[in-house]
Amino acid sequence: MPEAKSSARGSNKGGAYVDRDKPAQIRYSNISAAKAVADAVRTSLGPKGMDKMIQDEKGDVTITNDGATILKQMQVLHPAAKMVRRSSCHCLVHPEHEHMLFMAEFGASNTSLLVELSKAQDIEAGDGTTSVVVIAGALLDACYKLLQKGIHPTIISESFQKAVEKGVEVLTGMSHPVQLSDRETLLNSATTSLCSKVVSQYSSLLAPMSVDAVMRVIDPATATGVDLHDIKIIKKLGGTIDDCEMVEGLVLTQRVANSSVTRVEKAKIGLIQFCLSPPKTDMDNQIVVSDYAQMDRVLREERAYILNMVKQIKKAGCNVLLIQKSILRDALSDLALHFLNKMKIMVVKEIEREEIEFICKITGCASPGKTVSIVVRGSNKLVIEEAERSIHDALCVIRCLVKKRALIAGGGAPEIELAVRLAEYSRTLGGMEAYCVRAYSDALEVIPSTLAENAGLNPISTVTELRNRHAQGDKMAGINVRKGGISNIMEELVVQPLLVSISALTLATETVRSILKIDDVVRLNI
Q: For 171-230, write each residue's pLDDT tens digit.
A: 999 899 998 888 999 999 999 888 888 888 899 999 999 999 999 888 888 888 888 888
Are the beta carbons of 135 and 447 closer than 8 angstroms? yes
Catalytic residue among 64, 127, 393, 511: 393
Position 75 scores a pLDDT of: 54
Average pLDDT over residues 105-111: 47
Average pLDDT over residues 497-519: 89
Position 2 scores a pLDDT of: 42
CA gap 519, 30 in Å, rounded: 10
| Annotated catalytic residue 129 | yes
pLDDT tops 70 at residue 469: yes
**183-249+371-404 is classed CATH 3.30.950.10:** no
- Per DSSP, helices labelled H in 218-369 are 292-315, 334-342, 356-363
CA gap 65, 393 in Å, rounded: 12
- Compute the mean pLDDT over every residue in the chain, rounded to the nearest whole number: 81
DSSP 474: -
pLDDT tops 50 at residue 494: yes
Catalytic residue among 66, 122, 127, 230: 66
pLDDT tops 90 at residue 437: yes
Position 96 scores a pLDDT of: 36
DSSP 24: H
CA gap 20, 490 in Å, rounded: 53
Q: What is the pLDDT of residues 13-65, one digit of tens each?
A: 444 445 566 777 777 777 887 788 888 888 888 888 888 888 877 888 888 88
**Domain boundaries of the chain, sorted by first residue:** 23-176+412-421+498-517, 183-249+371-404, 269-363
Please name which of 433, 461, 435, 434 lies closest in space to residue 448, comparing C-alpha atoms: 461
Position 422 scores a pLDDT of: 93
Q: What is the pLDDT of residues 268-278, one digit of tens each?
A: 888 888 888 77
Q: What is the pLDDT of residues 256-311, one digit of tens each?
A: 887 777 788 888 888 888 888 777 766 677 778 778 888 888 888 888 888 888 88
- Mean pLDDT is lowest, of 141-150, 226-235, 353-362, for 353-362
Please name which of 470, 393, 373 lies closest in space to residue 67, comparing C-alpha atoms: 393
Q: What is the pLDDT of residues 383-433, one digit of tens each?
A: 898 899 899 989 999 999 999 899 998 888 999 999 999 999 999 988 889
Please name which of 30, 61, 59, 212 lies closest in space to residue 137, comparing C-alpha atoms: 30
CATH of 269-363, one of 3.90.1150.10, 3.50.7.10, 3.40.50.300, 3.40.190.80: 3.50.7.10
| Annotated catalytic residue 39 | no
Task: Name the helix (H) or strand (E) containing 496.
Answer: strand 495-497
pLDDT tops 90 at residue 516: no
Catalytic residue among 43, 62, 111, 129: 129
Position 162 scores a pLDDT of: 92
The fold adopted by the segment(s) 23-176+412-421+498-517 is GROEL; domain 1 (1.10.560)
CA gap 37, 32 in Å, rounded: 9
Position 19 scores a pLDDT of: 57
| Annotated catalytic residue 393 | yes
CA dist 237 to 209, 253, 379, Å? 19, 11, 6
- Per CATH, 183-249+371-404 and 269-363 having the same topology is answered no
CA gap 99, 120 in Å, rounded: 31
pLDDT tops 50 at residue 329: yes
Average pLDDT over residues 76-85: 32
Q: Is 296 helix (H, G, I), strand (E, B) or coil?
A: helix
Catalytic residue among 43, 64, 130, 511: 130
Return the sign of the alpha-carbon dihedral for residues 387, 390, 394, 396: positive
DSSP 219: -
Q: What is the pLDDT of residues 334-374, one digit of tens each?
A: 888 888 888 888 888 888 888 888 888 887 776 677 889 99
